Amino acid sequence: MAKRETLFSGIQPTNQTHIGNYIGALKQWVELQSSNNCLFCIVDLHAITVPQNPEKLREDIRSTAATYLAVGLDPKKCTIFVQSDVPEHAELGWIMGTVARMSELERMTQFKDKAKKQKENVSVGLFTYPALMSADILLYDTTIVPVGEDQMQHVELARTLARRFNTQFGETFNVPHAVIQKTGARIMSLDDPKTKMSKSGTLANAIFLSDAPDVITRKIMRAVTDSGKGISFDPTKKPAISNLMTIFHHVTGDSMEKIEQDFGNKGYGDFKKALAEATVEYLTPIRKKREMYMKDQKELDRILKSGAETAHKKALKKIVTIRKNMGLGR
Ligand code: AMP
Ligand code: TRP
């Protein structure tokens, strides 16, 4: 990426952030923050599309902010803010809901999965969620959206809505691109390599960034493995080991070839032990920093307030153009 791009991405402040969020999203953000204009959002308006407890939500917003800082996002280089602090997100979210079609939202796999899981009392917000996500992205003339693979369909919708809006109301939005990790765009559950590692799955499915060393070690040692033996990267035939190798690659920097060379003939147990050690070593400083930031609420507040001001200035400028192009207001 030679040219300075505008990046936007976000994480929902629901429960704890896990190593899948880290590898799929946060790790890319940290790498990209120095050479681009970046906005990293804590998307609390998305979080409320499923029931939330207000006190816990507030705590999770702070905890997500602390995680952003702990993994190395630097407020001097990027804008870190809470979505609901910038009201233009909600306004453009509404507008995008009028640009999107029912049939497009009905096709979204995340909606279908979440609605099925929740069974009853599914909110309208859960359905229109991708319209709000499109708004987040388009509000800042974003060019690049670094996300995990599960968000590709939503980014594709943002592209469609940007183009449709431009055709109907004149050139208004940039058409953004998603970027995903080459390996690790979809980290799988430790207890079921056929499903995505997720915040709402079983406790054993995910390594949370807040997990203590003994918890990380236990989860990895108990992780499901494939039948047969040998450490080789083959996501179709050996999904469990390939997933563990992907995590190993990201926490050590070793290539898949090197991992195969070093562990090819060793047993699953030996590999898991090495993975547990490397993961603990990698995550311990992040956990400690996160705890430190959690204790400094004043500093967190200062960073989020300043981020909101920066984002708000940009958003306000853009929304005026959008309203004008659509014929809204006086
Ligand atoms: P969420 O927790 O749903 O707000 O997701 C935040 C970011 O993490 C998004 O960019 C997701 O695509 C990414 N992500 C979530 N789960 C995974 C996973 N299992 N593997 C890789 N990336 C993920
Ligand atoms: N929907 C994303 C997720 O669950 C979070 C999100 C909201 C987002 N708005 C965004 C990601 C804009 C990228 C850009 O992972």
| Cβ proximity of 244 and 322 under 8 Å | no
Residue 268 pLDDT grade (very low, low, confident, very high; cuts 50, 70, 90): very high
* Amino acid at site 210: S
pLDDT digits (tens, 9 = 90+) for 152-162: 999 999 999 99
Contacts of 205 (CB under 8 A, 6+ apart): 189, 190, 191, 192, 195, 197, 198
Q: Which ligand is nearest to the CA of 23?
A: 1
pLDDT of 168: 98
Instruction: Kindly tell me if the per-residue pLDDT of 132 is higher than 90.
Output: yes
Average of per-residue pLDDT across 96-111: 98
| Cβ proximity of 41 and 82 under 8 Å | yes
pLDDT digits (tens, 9 = 90+) for 300-310: 999 999 999 99
Fold annotation for 6-186+297-326: Rossmann fold (3.40.50)
d(CA 282, ligand 1 centre) in Å: 19
Q: Where in the chain is the domain with CATH 3.40.50.620?
A: 6-186+297-326
Instruction: Kindly tell me if the per-residue pLDDT of 2 is higher than 80.
Output: no
pLDDT of 264: 83
Which residues are designated catalytic?
Answer: 114, 196, 199
Find out whether the beta carbon of 136 lies less than 6 Å from any atom of ligand 2: yes
Sheet architecture: strand order including 144-146: 78-82, 37-42, 6-11, 144-146, 177-179
The total of other beta-carbon atoms located within 10 Å of residue 105's CB is 17
Find out whether the beta carbon of 197 lies less than 6 Å from any atom of ligand 1: yes
Q: Which residue has the tokens 């920097």?
A: 253
Residue 119 pLDDT grade (very low, low, confident, very high; cuts 50, 70, 90): confident
Q: Whose CA is nearest to atom 17 of ligand 1?
A: 20
pLDDT digits (tens, 9 = 90+) for 24-69: 999 999 999 999 999 999 999 999 999 999 999 999 999 999 999 9
Q: Whose CA is nearest to atom 18 of ligand 1?
A: 20
- How far apart (Å, rounded) are the C-alpha atoms in residues 253 and 29? 17
Q: Looking at residue 206, what DSSP letter applies?
A: -
Find out whether the beta carbon of 24 lies less than 6 Å from any atom of ligand 1: yes
Find out whether the beta carbon of 27 lies less than 6 Å from any atom of ligand 1: no
Q: Which ligand is nearest to the CA of 8?
A: 2
Residue 96 pLDDT grade (very low, low, confident, very high; cuts 50, 70, 90): very high
Residue 3 pLDDT grade (very low, low, confident, very high; cuts 50, 70, 90): confident
Residue 107 pLDDT grade (very low, low, confident, very high; cuts 50, 70, 90): very high
Q: Among the listed ranges 14-18, 41-45, 107-111, 163-167, which one has the minimum average pLDDT value?
A: 14-18
Residue 265 pLDDT grade (very low, low, confident, very high; cuts 50, 70, 90): confident
3-state class (DSSP) for residue 87:
coil
As assigned by CATH, the class of the 211-291 domain is mainly alpha
Residue 229 pLDDT grade (very low, low, confident, very high; cuts 50, 70, 90): confident
Q: Where in the chain is the domain with CATH 1.10.240.10?
A: 211-291
| Cβ proximity of 229 and 268 under 8 Å | yes
pLDDT of 104: 98
